Amino acid sequence: MSLIEQREGIEAGRLDMFVDGAFAFTLTLLAIAGAAIPRDLNMLLHALGGIPAFACSFAQISLFWYAHVHWRVHCQLADRSSLILSLVLVFFALIFVYPLHMVFASLFSFISNGALPSDFQAQTADEMKGVFICYGAAYTCMATTLALLYRHGARNALHMGHAIRNEARVSTMVWASGAAVGLISIMVALLIPPHGSSQLLLLPGCCYFLLFLARFPLRAYRHRLEQVSS
């Protein structure tokens, strides 16, 4: 191993440790945001009622973190662009954590008719729209950053074989699709009238189910890349 390769490996390791630590800190913010040590049974039950929202938020943040891990395993880059994009991803994660928890807490409170408490209570339709817009903007920014990371990896990691390069290209499209869905959710939220019904307020969140439908064209795209490479 040359000195340059050794130095790049050290820099990549330091970057990965920073990103991992930043995401761990993000999850800590998620866990303690607005929380206090329960002093009686009612406070304990109130805190336990927030577990479903925390679980969904935890899973979402972990998904973005794992996408960065997946990128590192396949692309193994330590250049300036990779550094900047990784730092941008962490920056958006710290912004993303609060609207993320607000959306899930409000959703579970609405579904359970208040049985699962939410410290955040949207009083008007405009407030709920604002939460979905903030969530959509953060989600779009993070998905776009991951798409750029994978795109940069597919173009510059010349040591990769066809299979790994195709994986990077498919991942680019996966996260580009996520960014597009986030933009659609924002536009739907903006189109809801000021005095829209509670059913209409669920539409921006329902837009994210499009991510499951996107799996079919992405599967076809992967199959086409494999045929070209073979």
pLDDT value at residue 185: 94
**What is the pLDDT at residue 67?**
93
**Strands (E) located in 164-214:** none
Which pLDDT value is given to residue 101? 82
pLDDT in tens, the chain (230 residues): 444 444 455 566 677 788 888 888 887 777 654 556 667 777 677 667 778 888 888 899 999 999 999 888 877 777 888 889 999 999 998 888 888 888 888 778 777 777 777 666 666 777 778 888 888 998 999 999 999 999 998 887 656 677 778 888 899 999 999 999 999 999 999 988 877 666 777 888 889 999 999 888 988 888 888 777 66
- Contact predicate 120/106, CB 8 Å: yes
Q: What is the pLDDT of residue 202?
A: 80
Nearest residue to 128 (alpha-carbon basis) of 57, 207, 52, 189 = 189
Q: What's the pLDDT at 5?
A: 46
Cα dihedral across residues 33, 139, 73, 159: positive or negative: negative
Q: Which residue has the tokens 């679980």?
A: 55
Q: What pLDDT, on a 0 to 100 scale, did the predictor assign at position 196? A: 63
What dihedral angle (degrees, nearest 10) is formed by the CA atoms of 18, 94, 71, 218?
A: 170
Q: What is the pLDDT of residue 38?
A: 64
Would you list the domain boundaries of the chain? 3-229
Cβ density class 135-158: b for 16+ within 10 Å, e for less: bbbbbbbbbbbbbbbbbbbbeebe
Instruction: Please give the pLDDT value at position 197.
Output: 67
